[in-house]
Chain A
């Protein structure tokens, strides 16, 4: 487990980091290192240089303003899971972050790294999708914003350019009558999501559903939204029966299979976990 040689940079600002990336086409951003370092040790990746963004102050904070929650890219899962602001404004994200890996992983891994790495079995992408997150990105060409639904392009591929850094994740704060839940079926070896279901529902005063989203990790090459199933719930009373019927025809496009679980079984898990997540979200709304 010895990586190949690489240079190491530790910029103190986003601007500086972006410049180093632009100057070094074979460089990679290093955040929590909990995905990048293992692949380097296995020599599946051999970047010529690492740009460690872990000490850039601007990427470290959680804040709320104007009805939205903003989380810096280098905020760790542990901070997210335990932040009162996140628990209040985006409890789904706190719940998903709290289920990642083990304690060591949660103390090192970052939201920016998790979303940028775009591992299909990661726990945060579905939550980011379900919450309608906006991802703020800085590059040598300036800054831009990408919606979560445009961010995840393919297996471990995002909308980020090589010289771009994800700087901040912005999430609209949950309104009244909103409930959410993240339910994960752990891969027994990796602990990642064999399937993870992220559900958000809103109910009006009478209890009928005014909005729903249901997204999955682990089932296909990227996190996916089961938009049709979710929209089928709008207007319903969110009873168990309504949930079951909304999910009965659900089929995740391009579900993937591997030696541990077939694509078909992942679909079954999505139905089972999706129903459980929706029921829990409803009870919390």
Chain B
């Protein structure tokens, strides 16, 4: 085992992930691995049309197929009297909220929209039956492009949303920003498309629902990042079952990247079907279905401008964005291109005037919602592309123009013009470290020499900031969230001194079982191996809000730290009693309480725990047992930042982009486990490189998804990527007990701009100032020729 595994030093060491042996050997149990007796299977018939009226559905052949138990449509769900809704959980002023029912009632609004469901004895029959349901569709025109969708005459997704506009949102001061532009010496201006992405978690979504009609209890095993949110929404909006009668359990979950936050119809359908047939019902998405139903990410059409004075100081930024919502408003979708996007427009810069205007737009496409980074990659991309374009138009080096405009280290806390207050940072520190490591000055010489030989090298910077650790509940509440964003923890010391920790987070690959145990080992001085961490079961732990938005360490970890502190406080009281000393005189070190100067006469935490459980000799007023619960509501977001640098070579004859080096200097505050942090950074970069060079969801003009399989949608493969170089600076978060920030999304947020900036730099001899993502070889070749 690498690193220290016991005592206080365990926080900060690269302990190997305890999750991995089960995962690597295939022993871990995912939802689809679970078998319940009497279990049957459910499949969903999905619309082949982006937009169609349903004239009628004939399921008689399917119903007659041997092994089919039932075929249901929206009418059956309505007849059952359940609310049947798939709600949106973030409300913006004047937002159009069209009905989203568990199955399409009379209109389908995207290819993949559910139309009917089959319940059958086995998977094969359940799929065969889909081919025997005949839907009489009356196809209508569809629209997939979020900007075109707002034009007059575009096909409407919902009649109640004219021009397909779901909401019209802005932040910042328009007058002040326009005035800044009127005084600008230079203006950088770009039109960009932030390409639509398909999440591709390794494990497809799945649900196994077991309804007990006698007790009225529903147990729902499902692929979720937040079991309590799913319980709440299924109770309130979909099925109407009382919350305490629903237990949502997340077995092993194989990645989510946001796609398993949201409440979809399918899991509710499996639960409803179990209520109808009185047997456990399993639904597992095929990979095709994950493409057609998992909420997609990004999909912005944006115009951005950055105004500078004569010295290259930024004086104003304005951004106009058309952000696709897809066919319906997904769970947190409205927050993504607004409060997770517009609020990040200041980047790392001291920007005196900002205005950001966003239309949320319905299109005949899969709903769009949070996908790793959620809004912040889009913000970072437009800001960092504009900064490079500003460098180009002003003739100032890209590193220098950033340096000139950074918020300076002594300006914190820094209030941006777009609501956020950055708590801490040293942006130049990370930039310097990265430039030094990449050899920036030498690179420019190498680049010039290579150009002489007809080779095109480029370097791209992305000096990013993000806001994560979601979030102060009152703040998000005031912005429209229909949820709190605090987190819960229980730290339970058993009579033998072993510890079980319950967290309201719900990891799905992040390594919480390891890192959360590291936090507790340090706090309690208990051996790491004596601590287990349990997550992902609404029937077991207190309410929690789950894992997304790089929040688990900052909120869940902090909740655990404060619960552990409560445990230590109580143990101290008991130890003082046992040692017949005053509490103030006790030291607590490596899990032992002792009177200052007499470490040999100690009461260890396990000694105290035993006494706490026996309760034969407790101080007056102290309850038995040794455990504590904490509900931690953060004081602010956390603000990871850093500098990422990409180095590319562009092939002159094919246009292919070779990513030669990728270096990341991140500041995520204190680090609980460096190896896990590196892993998160690596994965994040790979996903961001994927967006910048390879991935894109393609819809045709009729809103048919063309990139519907992995043969067409290019998730990056290992051999496309160089070995990433990572480093860190450490600026602890000042407002949480661990000094930690978030790391799950940083790589995805920073990297698209770094890569595209590098390609544009490589192509500067050709007068190129922008290429939309993904930067395919053909686009590059065209730009060069």
Q: What residues of chain A have their CB less than 8 Å away from a CB belonging to chain B?
A: 1-2, 4-5, 42-43, 185, 187-191, 259-262, 265, 268-269, 272-273, 275-276
Q: How far, in whole Å, are A43 and B714 apart by their CA atoms in the complex? A: 22
A189 to B656, CA, bound (A): 14
Set of chain A residues within 8 Å of B126, measured between Cβ atoms = 2
Residue pair A5, B124 in contact (C-beta under 8 Å): yes
The residue that A259 contacts in the complex, of B707, B709, B715, with Cβ under 8 A, is B707
Residues of A within 8 A of B131 (CB): 4, 43
Which partner residue on chain A sits nearest B289 by CB separation? A1
Q: Which residues of chain B come closer than 8 Å to A275, judged between CB atoms? A: 653
CB distance from A37 to the nearest CB of B (A): 14
Separation of A187 and B711 alpha carbons in the complex (Å):
9
* Chain A positions within 8 Å of B776 at CB level: 188, 260-261
Q: How far is the CA of A100 from the CA of B612 in the complex (A)?
A: 65
- A272: chain B residues at CB < 8 Å are 653-654
In contact, B698 and A189 (Cβ under 8 angstroms) = no
B694 touches A188 (CB 8 A): yes
Q: Which residues of B are in contact with A by a Cβ distance under 8 Å?
A: 123-124, 126-128, 131, 286-288, 653-654, 656, 693-694, 698, 706-707, 709-717, 720, 776-778, 781-782
Q: Once the chains bind, are A42 and B128 in contact (CB under 8 Å)?
A: no
Contact (Cβ within 8 A) B124 A2: yes
Do B654 and A269 touch across chains, with their CB atoms under 8 A apart? yes
A2 to B287, CA, bound (A): 11
Are A2 and B710 within 8 A (Cβ)?
Answer: no
**A189 and B720 contact, Cβ closer than 8 Å, known pairs A5-B124, A268-B781:** no
With both beta carbons as reference points, the residue of chain A lying nearest to B130 in the complex is identified as: A43
Q: What is the distance, in angstroms, from B128's C-beta to the closest C-beta of chain A?
A: 6
Shortest distance from the beta carbon of A186 to any chain B beta carbon, whole Å: 9
Name the CB-closest residue of B to A195.
Answer: B654
Q: Which residue of A lies closest to B708 (CB)?
A: A42
Whether A259 and B698, one on each chain, are in contact in the complex, defined by CB atoms closer than 8 angstroms, is yes
Chain A residues with CB under 8 Å of B712's CB are 189-190, 259-260
Q: Would A259 and B710 be within 8 Å (CB), given that A2-B127, A189-B694, A272-B653 are in contact?
A: no
Nearest CB of chain A from residue B490's CB, rounded to whole Å: 40
| CB <8 Å contact, A265 and B124 | no
Find out whether the CB atom of B128 lies under 8 angstroms from the CB atom of A5.
yes
- Rounded to whole angstroms, the CA-CA distance of A270 and B131 in the bound complex is 42
Which B residues are CB-close (under 8 A) to A265?
777-778, 781-782
Given A188-B720, A268-B654, 12 additional A-B pairs, CB 8 A: A2-B127, A5-B128, A42-B288, A43-B131, A189-B710, A190-B712, A259-B698, A259-B707, A259-B712, A260-B778, A262-B778, A265-B782
Q: Is the CB of B713 within 8 A of A189?
A: yes
Residues of chain B with a CB closer than 8 A to A273's CB: 654
Q: Which of A185, A188, A268 contacts B714 (CB 8 A)?
A: A188
What is the chain A residue whose CB lies nearest that of B713? A189
Residue ID in chain A nearest B651 by CB atoms = A272
Q: Could you pull out 27 A-B pairs where Cβ atoms are within 8 angstroms?
A: A1-B287, A2-B123, A2-B126, A2-B127, A42-B288, A42-B709, A43-B127, A43-B131, A185-B777, A188-B693, A188-B694, A188-B714, A188-B716, A189-B707, A189-B713, A190-B710, A260-B712, A260-B776, A261-B776, A261-B778, A265-B778, A268-B654, A268-B781, A272-B654, A273-B654, A275-B653, A276-B653
- Name the residue on A nearest B778 (C-beta): A265
In angstroms, how far is the closest chain B Cβ from the Cβ of A275?
8
Nearest 9 A-B pairs (CB), nearest first?
A189-B714, A188-B714, A272-B653, A2-B127, A265-B778, A190-B711, A188-B694, A1-B286, A259-B698
User: Which residues in B have their C-beta under 8 angstroms from that of A2?
Assistant: 123-124, 126-127, 286
A5-B67 Cα distance, complex, nearest whole Å: 14
B128 — which chain A residues lie within 8 A by C-beta? 4-5
Residues of chain A contacted by B693 (CB below 8 angstroms):
188
Chain A residues whose CB sits within 8 angstroms of the CB of B717 once the complex forms: 191
Residues of B contacting A276 in the complex (Cβ-Cβ under 8 angstroms)? 653
CA distance in complex: A59, B601 (Å): 81
Instruction: List, in ascending order, chain B residues with CB within 8 A of A42's CB.
Output: 288, 709
Give A2 to B720 CA distance when docked, in angstroms: 31
In the bound complex, how far is the Cα of B717 from the Cα of A268, in angstroms? 25
Q: How far is the CB of A123 from chain B (nearest CB, A)?
A: 15
Chain A residues with CB under 8 A of B710: 189-190
Cα separation A273 to B656 with both chains bound (whole Å): 12
CA distance A188 to B657 in the complex (A): 12
Q: Hey, which chain B residues are within 8 Å of A43, CB to CB?
A: 127, 131
By beta carbon, the residue of chain A nearest B204 is A1
CA distance in complex: A259, B699 (Å)? 10
How distant is the Cα of A55 from the Cα of B220 in the complex, in angstroms? Answer: 45
Taking each of B653, B694, B715, which has the highest tally of chain A beta carbons within 10 Å of its own beta carbon?
B653
Report the Cα distance A259→B714, complex, angstroms.
12
Q: In angstroms, how far is the closest chain B Cβ from the Cβ of A93?
A: 23
Instruction: Name A276's closest neighbour in chain B (CB-CB).
Output: B653
Q: What residue of chain B has the Cβ atom nearest to residue A189's Cβ? A: B714
A42 to chain B, nearest CB (A): 7
Question: How many whole Å from A239's CB to the nearest CB in chain B?
Answer: 18
Q: What residues of A have a CB within 8 angstroms of the CB of B714 in the complex?
A: 187-189
Q: Give the docked Cα–Cα distance between A187 and B131 (Å).
A: 32
- What is the minimal beta-carbon distance from B711 to any residue of chain A, in angstroms? 4
User: Which residues of chain A are within 8 angstroms of B782 by Cβ–Cβ distance?
Assistant: 265
- Determine the chain A residues whose CB is within 8 A of the CB of B286 once the complex forms: 1-2
Closest chain A residue, CB of each to CB of B690: A188
How long is the Cα–Cα vector from A187 to B776 in the complex, in angstroms?
10
Q: Complex formed: what's the CA distance from A187 to B126 in Å?
A: 34
Please measure, in the bound complex, the distance between the C-alpha atom of A4 and the C-alpha atom of B709, giving whole angstroms: 19
A216 to B531, CA, bound (A): 60
Residues on the B chain within 8 Å of A189, using CB: 694, 707, 710-715
How far is it, in angstroms, between the C-alpha of A5 and the C-alpha of B656 when the chains are bound?
43
Nearest CB in chain B: distance from A256 CB, A: 14
Shortest CB-to-CB span from A107 to chain B, Å, is: 18
The reply to whether B656 and A185 contact each other, CB–CB distance below 8 Å, is yes
Q: CB-CB < 8 A to A4: which residues of B?
A: 128, 131
Instruction: Tell me the minimal C-beta distance from A259 to chain B in angstroms.
Output: 5
**Cα(A64)–Cα(B681), bound, Å:** 53
Enumerate chain A residues within 8 angstroms of B706, measured Cβ to Cβ: 259
A268 to B714, CA, bound (A): 22
Residue of B nearest to A271 (CB): B653
Complex: A265 Cα to B656 Cα, angstroms: 12
Q: Which residue of A lies closest to B779 (CB)?
A: A265
Q: Which residues of B contact A5 (CB under 8 A)?
A: 124, 128
Contact check, A185 vs B711: say whether CB atoms are below 8 A apart: no
Name A268's closest neighbour in chain B (CB-CB).
B781
CA distance in complex: A185, B654 (Å): 9
Determine the chain A residues whose CB is within 8 A of the CB of B694 once the complex forms: 188-189
Cα distance A5–B706 in the bound complex, in angstroms: 27
Chain A residues whose CB sits within 8 angstroms of the CB of B713 once the complex forms: 189
Instruction: Tell me the bound Cα distance from A191 to B720 in angstroms.
Output: 11
Q: From B782, which residue of chain A is reached at the shortest CB distance? A: A265
Question: Considering the chains assembled together, what is the distance between the CA atoms of A190 and B717 in angstroms?
Answer: 11
**A187 vs B706: C-alpha distance when bound (angstroms):** 16
Smallest beta-carbon distance B762→chain A, Å = 18
Q: Which residue of B lies closest to A261 (CB)?
A: B778
CB-defined contacts of A190 to chain B, threshold 8 Å: 710-712
The docked-state distance in angstroms from the alpha carbon of A61 to that of B224 is: 50
Residue of B nearest to A265 (CB): B778
A269: chain B residues within 8 A (beta carbon)? 654
Q: How far is the CA of A261 from the CA of B653 in the complex (A)?
A: 15
Closest residue on chain A to residue B654 by CB atoms: A272
